[in-house]
Structures are given as C-alpha cells and as structure tokens.
C-alpha cells in the first residue's frame, strides 16, 4: 500500500506528455500532426484515466485510514535557504484529485465533439491537458512556493484558453483582463508567502502551521503584521475564486470555448481559491479577524453574484455569475469554520455546474448551426426558447442540474447547501438571512435561465418572420403575440423582460453592421459549416451527438448520487445521531468550529426543519420565476390569478415596485457598475500614469540630455563664428581689450 503513496509524485506528470508532444509537434511538424488530429484525444483521455484510477486508489486508502503522506526533494542548493518540491497526500488532496480527474475526463470527451470543426482542435487539447497537469500539481503541492508555481501556471492556462479564439477582439481583452486580475491576486499571494516565510522561516505547510501556532501563542510577532500577511494570502484566493472585489474577470472569461468554462471556470480552477483557503485554514483559524473577513467576503460575493445573475442575457454569463455566487457560499462556509460543508459544496457544485455548462454548450452548439457563430447570437437567451422539443436529452440534463443548484432534495447541491445554511444560523443570524434569501434568488435566476431557454417557442423564428423590417427586428416579445397583450396589462412584473428586449434592439441597431462584418471575417479561419441557414429556409436546432451527450449523462449520475457521500444517516433509536457518512469519516481530522462535538449536534428534527425551510425558499424562488418567465400561452390559467394579484396592489406601490425593479435590472444588467468603475479608475489611471511617465521620460530626462547637446552645439557654433579666421576681427577684439585695460588702469591710477 505504501507504493501508491511513494509513486504518487508522478500524478502531475502523467498528463504532461500530451501537451508537450502536441506543442512541439505543432511547432516543428505542423502538417503531420494535424493529419493525426482526432487521434490526439485518445492519449489525453487515457492518461487522465490513469490518473483517475490512481487517485481512486488513493481515495479508497484514505477512507480506510486517513493518513497524511509527505515527501520532499530539494529544488535549489543554496546555503542560506533551500527551495523544496514535494507532494502531500491528505484527504483534501485526494478529494480534489478525484474531482479534477472525473470532470476532466468528461470534459475532454465532450470537447472532442464540441471542438471537432475548429481549426485549433489540437491547440485546444494541448492547453486543456496542460491545465489539467498544472491543476493536479497545484493540489498535490506540499509547500507554498509550489502552490504559487502551479497557481500561476493555472492562471496562464486560463489566459490561453480564454483567448483561444484570438481573432475575437472581445476574447483578446477578456483574457488580458483575466490574467491581470489574477496577477493582482498573485501579488497578494506572493507577498503573503514572503511574509509568512519571514515570520516562521518555513514554507512547508505542516511546519508552517506548527511554528506559526507557537509564535502566536508566545506573542513573538506583531499581530498587525500577521493579519496583514494573512489578508494578502487571502487576496490570492479572492482573485482565483472570483470573490467580490476581484470577480470581474469571471463573466468575461466566458469568451472561451464552453468546455473550458465547464472545466476551468466552474469546476476546477476557480475552486483552487477555496482549496487554498481550506489548505491554510489551520493558519487562518488562529486569527479571528481573517476568518470574519473570509465570511464577510463570502457573503458579499454570494449576494452580488446572485443579483448580477438576474438579468444576464448571455446564458454562459448567467451561469458564470451563478458560479461566483456558489463560490461565495463555499467561502462563507470556510469563514464560518465549517470545513466539511465547504468541501461538500465544492464537490457537489463542481459536478452540477459542470453539467450545466456542458448542457449550455450543447445548446449553443445546436443554436450555432442556425444563428451563426457569433456568441452574441448563439448564447443569447433572447433568441432561444422552446428548445425542449428539439433537444430533449440536453433539456433533461440541464433541468436536473438546475434543480440541483436550486437545492431540491434528492439532488447533490441540496445536501451541501442545506448544511451551509444551517451552519450559518449558528454563526450569525444576519448572515443566515442573507444566505437563505440568496438561496431563493438562486432558484429564481436558475429557473429564469431554464425557462427562457427551453420553454415556449423558438424565438428565433420570430426574428426571421420580421427579418425584412429592420426596425422591428427584435421588438417582438419573448412571450410571443399574446405576450404583448400581457405587457400592456401588467407592466410591473414584466419590466425585466421588456427592458431586456429594448436594450437588445438598441444594441443591434447601432452595431449590426460591425457585428456582421466581424462575423464574416471570422468565418474564414474557423468555420467549415455555412452559417445563416435561416435566411431563407427554416431549420430547428438539432440534438448534439452522442459523444457530447455521454459525458452529460455521466455527470447527471454524479449530480444525482454524489450528495449521498455527505448525507448523515440517523440512528433513530438512541436519539444520538452517529455520523456514518463517508465525507465526515474521510475528512476526519478536519476543523469544525461550529460543532465542537459533531456526534451530538446533528439530530433529525433539526435537520428536517432546516431542510424544509431551505427547500421552501427554493420553491418560492422557482414559483416567482415561473410566474415571470413561463410562456403565457402554455399556462393561461395562471394569467387570471396573476392579473388579480396585480390589480389588488395599490398604484403607488406599483410605481414604487416598478422603480425598484428597474433599479435592480439596471444594477444587474450593468454588472453592478463595478466593471465601469474599474475601467474608469484603474485602467484610465494606469494609462494616465503611463502617459505621464512617458512624457516625463521623453521631455525631462531625455530633454536634459538633448538640451545639453543642443547647447553645446550652439556654443560650438558661437566659437566657430568668433574664431572665423579674420585678422581684422582678432585685431578689433585685441585692441578693444587693450583699451578697456588701459581705461581701468588709468581710472585706478587717478584715484590713487
């Protein structure tokens, strides 16, 4: 059994040959490699499967006896200090290993089909395998420098993958934004690492924790400095996990191909921040301030993410904000000190969200053949609708993912989210109220996405009906013809949607030409299938291929059953709930602040009451969403109830409500004005600084040099003029000086 541990250093290196071979091959023998194109998916999947088997083996051993295995090698020889590389296998690592490999394999299989028509197919697989490699390296690392090493590599992979379609200007800016934002986090991470190195003199986790505890116990170090360092370390996690001040990159990151959004920007890489905080929790737990900060950032993020997700038109951006909100939940759980709940939610959310993203990829894939390859169109929920009939399997999978994320009982996310919510009541009621209401918001926005996408009729058809009249291009409501009637009736509740459409229309009328030209130009490099099939003929979206459906189905299974690893099994008879669940057993040495004695705290009654509460909140959210976004013609019976409900409200409240809705919509649609604020403050600030220093450099520092040059030139010219070689001028100067001298002499002599 020891062998598994001994050889587990190989884990990050197993998937490495694929990116290296593809990369070198593409540089040196491009044609030969490109001929083998589809072949390359097999080694990638195969190698990752080997890792999966390996980590499954470790996982089983960890369940049997959770031991921690550590091994290090020195990286640099230096007398003063040595950098070490090593690997650390503990429950947290094995959990992340399983997660990364399973989701990774599914996404690799999926993207074989998704990317099959893309010219960058091989490049995509190289990037993807490399990101898997660095992710595996990140979770197995045993010290902070190694974490930093892979942290940056993962960030680079994310940069490359977001900018995968580099001909799109939006993707180009998005990938730069992602990298720079992450670099701000890395800046904090590096400074934090250096600070802790200075405090403890060690970089290896377990030594670090031990020494640090001693140091803090003995009050040997300035507490302010320690807090500062911990905050800086946390900044790294904030950037990577898209928490509040540094979340701006995540929605833009959706410019990358959809499988990437599933793997990196939902399941693995963004979880790295959570992983880091979980890994360093023994360190943070000593400093109460930082724990409160973590919880606070978490609660801000979960609320912000949920509100921003309310009015997104782009299906992937909606999901991205939802990811951000769910990461906020995990951060909150970590800040509250319930380690187990955070990791549980990490697992369940990863599978559910990967499923949702793969589902949205499948939708986009089927829409693309009709509307063309612009993300503005193929990902636009305004143009979707009624896909239920055309893509039934995707619809089922997506629905299950949605339900799971909303927290509906038998599905995965329910168990973990419920745990976080019930823990939050123990922590602070205010936080708990925010967290619970956000659970309702989650249900609302997820069902909004679902209903807009799958229910009703394909809105694209309305677009083609009115295709000749440019003015009314997008003015038809999502709700169809009957919908317009409804709009007149109850404007209050429909503001969200109508605004949506108006915005759309104005956007298109301004920029139609530009987008079109863009599209046409982008066709050439990438696309082999002809687009705009809808110009004349009428076509419906098709269900995706089996290669794409299979991973989704596997993830559906995960979503259905992964929750059971954390379900507490109750022993009714002696009223003493015994934790038999795998997760608790597995994370045995984990920290739990809120339940000092886990055996007594969970009891059935409490559990059921909590669960009913959270489920009822979720259902409330779903109900509101279906009121607002359920297509009218399919549920006319609701309309009467609706109208009576609306009429019963007094007019003043109506107007107020309208204003409120408008405000929320504006806030959400403009991404909370945070991006604008950053653009004005930081981007312009840096540009201004660059201009200023450039000016200073050119005019002042260089100006002095050039000035000296010019001055010496004039002096030289002057001397040349004076020394022109005319005897008469020499004589003139000579005589005049003699005369002056004589004059002075005489003046003095007379004075004497």
From 69, 110, 148, 373, residue interacting with another protein (rule: CB under 8 A): 148
Check if the beta carbon of residue 324 is closer than 8 Å to that of residue 247.
Answer: yes
Answer yes or no whether residue 246 interacts with another protein by CB under 8 A. Answer: no
From 2, 169, 640, 714, residue interacting with another protein (rule: CB under 8 A): 169
Cβ-proximal residues to 134 (8 Å cutoff; 6+ apart), any chain:
12, 150, 153, 154, 157
From 525, 663, 707, 723, residue interacting with another protein (rule: CB under 8 A): 525
Answer yes or no whether residue 31 interacts with another protein by CB under 8 A. Answer: no
Q: How far is the CB of 272 from another protein (least distance, A)?
A: 14
Residue 700-719 contact track with another protein, rule CB under 8 A, x = bound: -xx--x---x----------
Answer yes or no whether residue 4 interacts with another protein by CB under 8 A. Answer: no
Stretch that binds another protein, among 3-11, 70-78, 411-419, 620-628 (CB under 8 A): 70-78
Cβ-proximal residues to 664 (8 Å cutoff; 6+ apart), any chain:
307, 310, 311
| Residue (189 or 432) nearer to another protein, CB | 189
Q: How far is the CB of 342 from another protein (least distance, A)?
A: 27
Measured CA to CA in angstroms, residue 379 lies from 313, 319, 342, 517 at distances of 8, 11, 31, 19
Positions 671 through 700 that interact with another protein (CB under 8 A): 686-687, 689-691, 693-695, 697
Q: How far is the CB of 73 from another protein (least distance, A)?
A: 11
Give the HSE-up count for residue 659: Cα atoms under 13 Å, Cβ half-sphere: 5
| Residue (166 or 569) nearer to another protein, CB | 166
Beta bridge partners of 143: 204
Check if the beta carbon of residue 272 is closer than 8 Å to that of residue 228.
Answer: no
| Residue (163 or 305) nearer to another protein, CB | 163
Q: From CA 314, how far away is CA 251, in angstroms rounded? A: 10
Q: Tell me the three state secondary structure of residue 441.
A: helix
From 2, 65, 73, 76, residue interacting with another protein (rule: CB under 8 A): 76
Q: How far is the CB of 80 from another protein (least distance, A)?
A: 5
| Residue (410 or 703) nearer to another protein, CB | 703
Q: How far is the CB of 522 from another protein (least distance, A)?
A: 7
Measured CA to CA in angstroms, residue 235 lies from 165, 182, 293, 594, 694 at distances of 29, 10, 11, 25, 31
From 81, 223, 532, 645, residue interacting with another protein (rule: CB under 8 A): 81
From 2, 3, 73, 79, residue interacting with another protein (rule: CB under 8 A): 79
User: Helices 429-454 and 412-427 sit at what angle, rounded to 10 degrees?
Assistant: 150
From 54, 59, 121, 149, residue interacting with another protein (rule: CB under 8 A): 149
From 27, 224, 727, 752, residue interacting with another protein (rule: CB under 8 A): 27
Q: How far is the CB of 438 from another protein (least distance, A)?
A: 32
Positions 301 through 320 that interact with another protein (CB under 8 A): none
Residue 490-519 contact track with another protein, rule CB under 8 A, x = bound: ----------------------------x-
Q: From CA 103, how far away is CA 151, in angstroms rounded? A: 19
Check if the beta carbon of residue 108 is closer than 8 Å to that of residue 124.
Answer: no
Total residues interacting with another protein, rule: CB under 8 A? 57
Q: How far is the CB of 130 from another protein (least distance, A)?
A: 11
Answer yes or no whether residue 29 interacts with another protein by CB under 8 A. Answer: no
Q: How far is the CB of 71 from another protein (least distance, A)?
A: 18
Answer yes or no whether residue 179 interacts with another protein by CB under 8 A. Answer: yes
Tell me which residue of 525, 162, 98, 539 sits closest to 350, measured CA to CA. 98
Answer yes or no whether residue 399 interacts with another protein by CB under 8 A. Answer: no
Q: How far is the CB of 328 from another protein (least distance, A)?
A: 25
Q: How far is the CB of 38 from another protein (least distance, A)?
A: 20
Q: Tell me the three state secondary structure of residue 470.
A: coil
Stretch that binds another protein, among 176-184, 241-249, 258-266, 307-315 (CB under 8 A): 176-184
Q: From CA 261, how far away is CA 321, in angstroms rounded? A: 12
Q: How far is the CB of 679 from another protein (least distance, A)?
A: 14
| Residue (481 or 694) nearer to another protein, CB | 694
From 2, 3, 28, 644, residue interacting with another protein (rule: CB under 8 A): 28
| Residue (713 or 730) nearer to another protein, CB | 713
From 197, 425, 613, 667, residue interacting with another protein (rule: CB under 8 A): 197
Check if the beta carbon of residue 238 is closer than 8 Å to that of residue 292.
Answer: no
Q: How far is the CB of 373 from another protein (least distance, A)?
A: 13
Stretch that binds another protein, among 76-84, 287-295, 352-360, 384-392 (CB under 8 A): 76-84
| Residue (195 or 386) nearer to another protein, CB | 195
Answer yes or no whether residue 527 interacts with another protein by CB under 8 A. Answer: no
Dihedral sign, Cα of residue 739, residue 742, residue 746, residue 748: positive
Q: From CA 33, how far away is CA 39, in angstroms rounded? A: 10
Tell me which residue of 568, 571, 572 sits closest to 583, measured CA to CA. 568
Q: How many CB atoms lie within 10 A of CB 208?
A: 22
Q: How far is the CB of 183 from another protein (least distance, A)?
A: 5
Q: From CA 268, how far away is CA 220, in angstroms rounded? A: 38
Continuous H helices in 218-338:
223-240, 249-252, 258-262, 271-279, 281-284, 288-308, 315-336
Q: How far is the CB of 700 from another protein (least distance, A)?
A: 9
Answer yes or no whether residue 198 interacts with another protein by CB under 8 A. Answer: yes
DSSP 584-632: HHHTTT--BSS-SSHHHH--HHHHHHHHHHHHHHHHHHHHHHHHHHS-G
Dihedral sign, Cα of residue 157, residue 158, residue 159, residue 164: positive
Beta bridge partners of 492: none
Specify burial of residue 598 (Cβ count, 10 A radius: 0-12, 13-18, 19+): middle
Stretch that binds another protein, among 164-172, 261-269, 365-373, 415-423 (CB under 8 A): 164-172
Q: From CA 50, how far away is CA 18, in angstroms rounded? A: 13
User: Helices 480-489 and 636-647 sit at what angle, rounded to 10 degrees?
Assistant: 10
Q: What are phi and psi for residue 147, nearest 5 degrees?
A: -60, -45
- What are the structure tokens assigned to 82, written together? 């040595």
Q: How far is CA 242 from the centre of its chain?
A: 5
Cβ-proximal residues to 670 (8 Å cutoff; 6+ apart), any chain:
676
Stretch that binds another protein, among 141-149, 339-347, 396-404, 721-729 (CB under 8 A): 141-149
Tell me which residue of 345, 728, 360, 373 sits closest to 522, measured CA to CA. 373
Q: How far is the CB of 368 from another protein (least distance, A)?
A: 19
Positions 216 through 235 that interact with another protein (CB under 8 A): 225
With left for phi above 0 and alpha for psi between -120 and 50, is residue 672 left, alpha or beta? left
| Residue (113 or 142) nearer to another protein, CB | 142
Tell me which residue of 422, 393, 750, 387 sits closest to 545, measured CA to CA. 393
Answer yes or no whether residue 21 interacts with another protein by CB under 8 A. Answer: no
Answer yes or no whether residue 388 interacts with another protein by CB under 8 A. Answer: no
From 21, 191, 211, 560, residue interacting with another protein (rule: CB under 8 A): 191
| Residue (429 or 685) nearer to another protein, CB | 685
Q: How far is the CB of 498 from another protein (least distance, A)?
A: 35
Rg of the Cα trace of the chain?
32
Binding site for another protein (CB under 8 A): 26-28, 75-81, 145, 148-150, 152-153, 156, 159-160, 163, 166-169, 171-173, 176, 179-180, 183-184, 186-187, 190-191, 194, 197-198, 225, 518, 521-522, 525, 686-687, 689-691, 693-695, 697, 701-702, 705, 709
């Amino acid at each position: 059994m020891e062998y598994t541990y001994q050889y587990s250093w190989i884990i990050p290196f197993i998937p490495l040959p694929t990116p290296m071979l593809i990369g070198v091959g593409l540089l040196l023998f491009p044609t030969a490699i490109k001929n083998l194109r589809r072949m390359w998916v097999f080694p990638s999947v195969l190698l990752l499967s080997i890792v999966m088997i390996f980590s499954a083996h470790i996982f089983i051993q960890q369940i049997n006896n959770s031991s921690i295995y550590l091994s290090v090698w020195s990286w640099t020889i230096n007398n003063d200090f040595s950098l070490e590389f090593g690997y650390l296998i503990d429950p947290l690592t094995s959990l992340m290993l399983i997660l990364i490999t399973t989701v990774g394999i599914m996404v690799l299989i999926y993207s074989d089909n998704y990317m099959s028509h893309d010219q960058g197919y091989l490049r995509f697989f190289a990037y993807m395998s490399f990101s898997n490699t660095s992710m595996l390296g990140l979770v197995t690392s045993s010290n902070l420098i190694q974490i930093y090493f892979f942290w940056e590599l993962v960030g680079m992979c994310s940069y490359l993958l977001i900018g995968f379609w580099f001909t799109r200007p939006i993707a180009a800016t998005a990938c730069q934004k992602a990298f720079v934002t992450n670099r701000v986090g890395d800046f904090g991470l590096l400074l934090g690492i250096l600070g802790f190195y200075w405090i403890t003199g060690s970089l290896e986790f377990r030594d670090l924790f031990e020494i640090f505890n001693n140091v803090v116990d003995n009050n040997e170090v300035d507490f302010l400095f320690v807090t500062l360092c911990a905050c800086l370390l946390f900044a790294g996690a904030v950037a990577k996990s898209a928490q509040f001040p540094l979340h701006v990159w995540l929605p833009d990151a959706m410019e990358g191909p959809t499988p990437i959004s599933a793997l990196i920007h939902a399941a693995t890489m963004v979880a790295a921040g959570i992983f880091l905080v979980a890994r360093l929790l023994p360190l943070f737990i000593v400093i109460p301030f930082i724990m409160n900060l973590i919880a606070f950032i978490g609660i801000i993020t979960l609320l912000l993410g949920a509100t921003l997700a309310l009015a997104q038109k782009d299906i992937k951006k909606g999901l991205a904000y939802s990811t951000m909100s769910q990461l906020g939940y995990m951060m909150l759980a970590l800040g509250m000190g319930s380690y187990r709940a955070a990791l549980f939610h990490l697992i369940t959310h990863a599978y559910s969200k990967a499923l949702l993203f793969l589902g949205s990829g499948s939708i986009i894939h089927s829409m693309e053949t009709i509307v063309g390859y612009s993300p503005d169109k193929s990902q636009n929920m305004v143009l979707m609708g009624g896909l239920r009939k055309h893509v039934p399997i995707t619809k089922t999978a997506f629905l299950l993912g949605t339900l799971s994320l909303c927290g509906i009982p038998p599905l995965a996310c329910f168990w973990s989210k419920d745990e976080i919510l019930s823990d939050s009541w123990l922590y602070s009621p205010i936080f708990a109220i925010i967290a619970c209401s956000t659970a309702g918001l989650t249900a609302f926005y997820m069902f909004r996405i679902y209903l807009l996408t799958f229910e009703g009729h394909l809105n694209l058809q309305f677009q083609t009906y009115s295709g000749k009249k440019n003015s009314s291009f997008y003015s038809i409501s999502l709700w169809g013809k009957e919908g317009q009637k409804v709009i007149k009736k109850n404007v209050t509740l429909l503001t969200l949607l109508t605004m949506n459409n108006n915005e759309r229309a104005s956007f298109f009328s301004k920029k139609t030409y530009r987008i079109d030209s863009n599209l046409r130009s982008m066709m050439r490099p990438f696309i082999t299938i002809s687009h705009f099939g809808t110009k004349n003929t009428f076509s419906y979206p098709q269900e995706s291929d089996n290669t794409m459906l299979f991973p989704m189905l596997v993830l559906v299974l995960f979503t259905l059953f992964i929750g059971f690893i954390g379900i507490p099994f109750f022993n009714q008879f002696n009223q003493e709930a015994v934790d038999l669940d795998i997760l608790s057993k597995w994370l045995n040495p984990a920290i739990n602040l809120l339940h000092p004695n886990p055996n007594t705290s969970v009891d059935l009654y409490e559990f059921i009451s909590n669960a009913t509460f959270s489920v009822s909140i979720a259902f409330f959210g779903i109900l509101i969403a279906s009121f607002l976004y359920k297509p009218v013609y399919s549920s006319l019976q609701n309309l009467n109830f609706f109208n009576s409900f609306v009429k019963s409200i007094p007019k003043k409240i109506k107007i107020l409500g309208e204003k409120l809705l408008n405000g929320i919509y504006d806030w959400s649609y403009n991404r909370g004005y945070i991006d604008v604020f950053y653009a004005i403050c930081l981007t312009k600030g840096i540009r201004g600084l660059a201009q200023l220093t450039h000016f200073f450099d050119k005019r002042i520092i260089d100006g002095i040099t050039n000035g000296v040059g010019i001055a010496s030139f004039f002096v030289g010219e002057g001397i040349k003029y004076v020394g022109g070689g005319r005897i008469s001028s020499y004589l003139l100067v000579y005589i005049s000086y003699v005369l002056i001298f004589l004059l002075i002499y005489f003046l003095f002599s007379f004075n004497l």
